[in-house]
Chain A
Amino acid sequence: MNRRSWLIHLVFRALAHRAGRTLLLLAVLAMASSLATALGIVSFSMGKRVAEEVRKYGANLVVVPNSARLDVGSGGLNFGVVSEPAYLRQEQVDGALTKSGLIAERSKHLRGALRLGSADILVEGVDFVEIRRLFPWWQLQGGWPAPGQVVVGSDLASSFHLKVGDTVELAGAGEPVRLRLAGIVATGGEEDGLLFLHLPELQKILDLDGRLSTVRLLVPADGVSLRVRAATLQQFLPQARVTEVRQIARTSEGLLAKVKLLMLLVTAVVLLSAGSSVTGTMSTAVLERSREIGLMKAMGGTRWELLRIFAAEALLLGVAGGVVGYLLGCGIAQFITWTVFGVSAGITLWYAPVSVGVSLLLALLGSLGPMISVFRLDPVRSLRGE
């Protein structure tokens, strides 16, 4: 048997001999690790979940040209008025997004006015695929438009007695175009008063190829503040104004940060009390084993060799506590995410090293004081039972 195998054998024997204390230490480490695991997984799942929830509220960043006095908003919020025509260049926005490294869902908008019958109406060119992703709350009667087709807001449809399947004739600066009405949209917002058509078609009608009046972005809540994200993008778009949709952004970020802080504090308190418990139990164990330690020193064990034995015990307990804590923590996390969010936390194998690490750190830090006692213990006095 080589020295390492013997050391492991010795450690197992010592732990088995004090089965009660070993189980107590394991339980403390597993509990602390499981809580840290559960809260960590829940915190991570919550971040994802909140990001998903935020999607329901649409874009959280809006890019408008500098010279346009265009207020921002989403859903039922105020969008303000375009006071003078100014446009973003589509390729500049795409380039800025690439350079800034910002990963975000986006929807491009071009707004203008066209004649419908004898009245001027507000029209908006959009990419309907983007609209469906970013504005999932749009209620559409009929279908999404194919090229050459349009969608009209419910208020506008009522005013002009339009229904699905009708053909509308829109007149701009050039020749009038006839487009089929594919659907009627109701959002409860200003969209109800607009007519929507495919972006390239409106750009062609208005002779504004590659021009946009607004780009709306949905940046997922990933821990980086939206204000920072907006500022980063702004650097690459000096000719535009990047603005947060404040209510949504602040609420989701603020709430998430507070809940995460709460979880962190709870975890810290639990780890602190578990650490004290480990220290107490290990100190008692060292006290009880002082004769044994004295004997080992008398037989020629150096202080470092003795430390290695006790560190190996702590290490073994730490790893075992971490593994049990990880399994337990996953169960608790599943229970919490299922109860609170109605979804599974999923398999989070990547968190296993964190669980084991927490338990290991706790076991080693908790054993630090007792190990110093082992280091300093006088063999003669301990063999005399002093």
Chain B
Amino acid sequence: MASMIIETAGLTKSYGEIRALKPLDLTVPEGEWLSVMGHSGSGKSTLLNLVGGLDRPTAGMLKVGGEDLLGRDEDGLARFRREFVGIIFQQHHLIPYLNALENVMLAQYFHSVPDEAEARSALERVGLGHRLKNRPGELSGGEQQRVCIARAIINSPRLLLGDEPTGNLDHGSTTMVLELLRELRVEERFTIIMVTHNQEVAAWGDRTIYLDDGVLVREEKKLVEG
């Protein structure tokens, strides 16, 4: 039986009077691809931010990789993120004045030491070996997202978080990005938690949970093929 990479119990997040996430009990086994679905304001991104150490819960227990994140201060959470997490954003969030290679090396800088050869190899793995010196403005949406993936995996994270990573992509690019993630997961053995609005995208995961108004309302497990 796989060990749990994420364990939450009574996990709650409130913004003043608004309860974005109501007490949530969730476990995610190591290596799983978990899709999180729900309409806008259902608490999907809040959950993602909490497990990624970007935000702090209001109450409850949150363990990621066996470590209680509640005990960490702001800089402690930053260190957790760089050691443990890779994030793929819907809007890519690439630094406009750095080229593709440098954008990947920036993640290395915060993790340890920038290594151009490793960064180059990461970009080659996502099929961008020929676009190393291009700045984000010179890349298509799909290419930018692939740079974002290379940046997310460069430090070999145990947890890869995707916040609507295909939300801004056309069908072809979406498929390409999802296939890439599937291949990388096999090679890198990381856990994926992906927030999406799209049922087809969610279906790429091993399991899908549905949130509504901060509450986990439904859970679907993919049938094992064969």
**Residue positions of A touching B, CB distance < 8 A:** 1-3, 6-7, 9-10, 13-14, 16-17, 291-292, 295-305, 379-380, 383
Residues of A within 8 Å of B102, CB to CB, are 9, 13
Contact A300 B81 (CB under 8 A): yes
Contact B49 A300 (CB under 8 A): no
The 21 sampled A-B contact pairs (Cβ below 8 Å) are A2-B113, A6-B105, A6-B114, A7-B109, A13-B102, A291-B93, A292-B95, A295-B93, A296-B106, A297-B78, A299-B107, A299-B110, A300-B82, A300-B110, A301-B82, A302-B75, A303-B78, A304-B75, A379-B54, A383-B89, A383-B93
Main secondary structure of the interface of B (DSSP, over half): helix
Alpha-carbon distance between A172 and B20 when the two chains are bound, in angstroms? 114
Residues of A within 8 Å of B106, CB to CB, are 10, 296, 299
Q: Known: A13-B97, A13-B102. Contact between A298 and B75, CB under 8 A?
A: no
Q: Known: A1-B116, A379-B54, A380-B55. Contact between A300 and B83, CB under 8 A?
A: yes
Return B77 CB to nearest CB of chain A, in Å: 9
Q: Which of A1, A3, A298 contacts B81 (CB 8 A)?
A: A298
Alpha-carbon distance between A243 and B109 when the two chains are bound, in angstroms? 70
Return A7 CB to nearest CB of chain B, in Å: 8
Alpha-carbon distance between A295 and B110 when the two chains are bound, in angstroms? 11
Contact A303 B97 (CB under 8 A): no
Residues of A within 8 Å of B116, CB to CB, are 1
Whether B66 sits at the interface, judged by CB under 8 Å, is no
Residues of A within 8 Å of B83, CB to CB, are 300
Contact A300 B95 (CB under 8 A): no
Alpha-carbon distance between A305 and B95 when the two chains are bound, in angstroms? 17
Whether B207 sits at the interface, judged by CB under 8 Å, is no
Main secondary structure of the interface of A (DSSP, over half): helix
Whether B111 sits at the interface, judged by CB under 8 Å, is yes
Q: Closest residue of chain A to B154, judged by CB? A: A299
Binary CB contact string for chain B from 79 to 121 against chain A (1 if under 8 A, 0 otherwise): 1111101010100010111100010011101110110100000
Q: Closest residue of chain A to B98, judged by CB? A: A13
Contact B97 A17 (CB under 8 A): yes
Return B118 CB to nearest CB of chain A, in Å: 12
Q: Which of A1, A16, A301 contacts B114 (CB 8 A)?
A: A1
Whether B138 sits at the interface, judged by CB under 8 Å, is no
Contact A3 B113 (CB under 8 A): yes
Return B154 CB to nearest CB of chain A, in Å: 10
Whether B179 sits at the interface, judged by CB under 8 Å, is no
Contact B97 A299 (CB under 8 A): no
**How many pairs of A and B residues are in contact by the CB < 8 Å rule?**
70
Return B65 CB to nearest CB of chain A, in Å: 15
Known: A1-B105, A300-B78. 13 other contacts (CB 8 A): A1-B114, A3-B114, A10-B106, A10-B109, A13-B97, A16-B97, A296-B110, A298-B52, A298-B81, A299-B110, A300-B83, A300-B110, A302-B79
Residues of A within 8 Å of B114, CB to CB, are 1, 3, 6
Alpha-carbon distance between A10 and B15 when the two chains are bound, in angstroms? 35
Q: Which of A296, A304, A380 contacts B49 (CB 8 A)?
A: A380
Whether B74 sits at the interface, judged by CB under 8 Å, is yes
Return B78 CB to nearest CB of chain A, in Å: 4
Q: Known: A298-B87, A380-B55. Contact between A6 and B109, CB under 8 A?
A: yes
Residues of B within 8 Å of A17, CB to CB, are 96-97
Residues of B within 8 Å of A301, CB to CB, are 78, 82, 110
Contact B109 A298 (CB under 8 A): no
Residues of A within 8 Å of B80, CB to CB, are 300
Residues of B within 8 Å of A1, CB to CB, are 105, 113-114, 116
Return B68 CB to nearest CB of chain A, in Å: 19
Residues of B within 8 Å of A2, CB to CB, are 113
Alpha-carbon distance between A115 and B89 when the two chains are bound, in angstroms? 110
The 9 closest A-B pairs by CB, nearest first: A300-B82, A17-B97, A302-B75, A300-B81, A300-B110, A302-B78, A295-B93, A6-B114, A301-B110
Return B101 CB to nearest CB of chain A, in Å: 11
Residues of B within 8 Å of A298, CB to CB, are 52, 54, 81, 87, 93
Residues of B within 8 Å of A3, CB to CB, are 109, 113-114
Residues of A within 8 Å of B78, CB to CB, are 297, 300-303
Alpha-carbon distance between A28 and B82 when the two chains are bound, in angstroms? 38
Return A89 CB to nearest CB of chain B, in Å: 75
Return B137 CB to nearest CB of chain A, in Å: 11
Return B165 CB to nearest CB of chain A, in Å: 14
Return A292 CB to nearest CB of chain B, in Å: 6
Return B212 CB to nearest CB of chain A, in Å: 21
Q: Closest residue of chain B to A375, judged by CB? A: B74
Contact A299 B113 (CB under 8 A): no
Return B81 CB to nearest CB of chain A, in Å: 4
Alpha-carbon distance between A62 and B125 when the two chains are bound, in angstroms? 90
Residues of A within 8 Å of B110, CB to CB, are 296, 299-301, 305
Contact A299 B54 (CB under 8 A): no
Alpha-carbon distance between A138 and B54 when the two chains are bound, in angstroms? 85
Alpha-carbon distance between A6 and B109 when the two chains are bound, in angstroms? 8
Q: Closest residue of chain A to B87, judged by CB? A: A298
Return A59 CB to nearest CB of chain B, in Å: 67
Alpha-carbon distance between A303 and B80 when the two chains are bound, in angstroms? 14
Residues of B within 8 Å of A10, CB to CB, are 98, 106, 109
Q: Closest residue of chain B to A17, judged by CB? A: B97
Q: Known: A13-B98, A291-B93, A295-B95. Contact between A303 and B74, CB under 8 A?
A: yes
Alpha-carbon distance between A380 and B161 when the two chains are bound, in angstroms? 14
Among A292, A295, A303, A304, chain B packs the most CB atoms within 10 A around the CB of: A295
